[in-house]
Amino acid sequence: MNVDPIFRSLHKAQRFPLRVCQLVVRKRVPRPKPASQSEWTGAVRTGWNRVSYRYRPSGKHSDSFGHREGDYRSWLEPILRAVPPGTEVLDLGCGTGVPTSRILARRFRVTGVDLSDVQIRRARRFVPCARFVRADMTRVTFAPERFAAIVTLYSLIHVPREEQLSLFRRMATWLAPGGWFLGIVGQERYEGSEPGWLGSDAPMFWSHYNAATYRRWLRELKFTIAHEEFIPEGDGGHHLFLARKARSNSDRRTD
């Protein structure tokens, strides 16, 4: 079986340190979701506008869940090592640009997309060398095969489940052959909300399938999964996938 050297090195060498987060939050409860896609999008946009400074206070070295820059750097390390410098990388659901876009922008030409007006304003200030777009990730468009890597950490979990497979398909078209996908997605199937998230006056909504579903989608889209793991958070957690798009139609998965 032929496995390229980058893939082999990522399988054997990369180990991601885990940080168990200490923040105690209100219980998230399943509840009827907004009546339409536009209402859901509007609620998530408003929620992030109101909690941006609570989630990532200016000058702090971690977010409100205890994730530090070192955690993000360890998750991004395979991308930093495998993707050629100067190529285009997409940070989908970039938030304030800190730390993901900021780390990536030191090596790549970064485009960040986020739904929140406040998050995008802060990202443009924190990472001036990157390009940021205020947009709904399920509606934004890019040219085929534009990006060498797509990174989406903790953002797909706010997209309605029924929109996610089509988004994965679009991401696959945006990636160049042999391009890399790095995502942190749901671990278990869930859809619900939390009122007054992070002490704000706004609710937040979550929606995701389980890790097995995302694994199946990646394989169906001809990605080779290089690494995956559970990322704990409080009494639950999320799932990380690092995967590589086939370099040609004749490529076969090796995972």
3-class SS of residue 154: coil
- How far apart CA 205 and CA 47 sit, in angstroms, is 9
Q: What pLDDT score was predicted for residue 18? A: 39
Q: Which residues are within 8 A (CB) of 86 and not within 5 positions of it... i.e. 6 or more apart?
A: 107, 108, 109
**Reported pTM:** 0.86
What is the dotted CATH code of the domain comprising 5-10+22-245? 3.40.50.150
Residues forming beta bridges with residue 204, ordered by sequence position: 194
Cis bond upstream, residue 57 (ω within 30): no
Decide: 83 and 105 in contact? Cβ < 8 Å: no
How many other CB atoms sit within 10 Å of the CB of residue 223? 25
Q: What pLDDT score was predicted for residue 11? A: 47
Residues forming beta bridges with residue 226, ordered by sequence position: none
Which has the closest alpha carbon to 150: 170, 169, 171, 167? Answer: 171
Length of the chain: 255
Task: Give the chain's largest Cα–Cα span.
Answer: 55
List pLDDT tens digits, range 93-149: 999 999 999 999 999 999 999 999 999 999 999 999 999 999 999 999 999 999 999
DSSP 8-state class, residue 18: -
Q: What pLDDT score was predicted for residue 15? A: 45
Which residue type does 42 have? G
- Neighbour-count burial of 19, counting CB atoms closer than 10 A to its CB (0-12 exposed, 13-18 middle, 19+ buried): middle
Q: Which residues are within 8 A (CB) of 24 and not within 5 positions of it... i.e. 6 or more apart?
A: 234
Please give the chain's pLDDT, 255 residues, in tens.
Answer: 444 555 455 544 444 443 333 333 345 555 556 768 899 999 999 999 999 999 999 888 888 888 899 999 999 999 999 999 999 999 999 999 999 999 999 999 999 999 999 999 999 999 999 999 999 999 999 999 999 999 999 999 999 999 999 999 999 999 999 999 999 999 999 999 999 999 999 999 999 999 999 999 999 999 999 999 999 998 999 999 999 999 986 665 545
Give the H or E element holding residue 38: helix 37-55
- Neighbour-count burial of 186, counting CB atoms closer than 10 A to its CB (0-12 exposed, 13-18 middle, 19+ buried): buried
Q: Which residues are within 8 A (CB) of 6 and not within 5 positions of it... i.e. 6 or more apart?
A: 81, 82
Which has the closest alpha carbon to 185: 138, 234, 229, 222? Answer: 229
- How far apart CA 226 and CA 155 sit, in angstroms, is 21
Q: What pLDDT score was predicted for residue 67? A: 87
Decide: 24 and 234 in contact? Cβ < 8 Å: yes
Decide: 75 and 182 in contact? Cβ < 8 Å: yes
Decide: 67 and 22 in contact? Cβ < 8 Å: no
Q: What pLDDT score was predicted for residue 193? A: 94
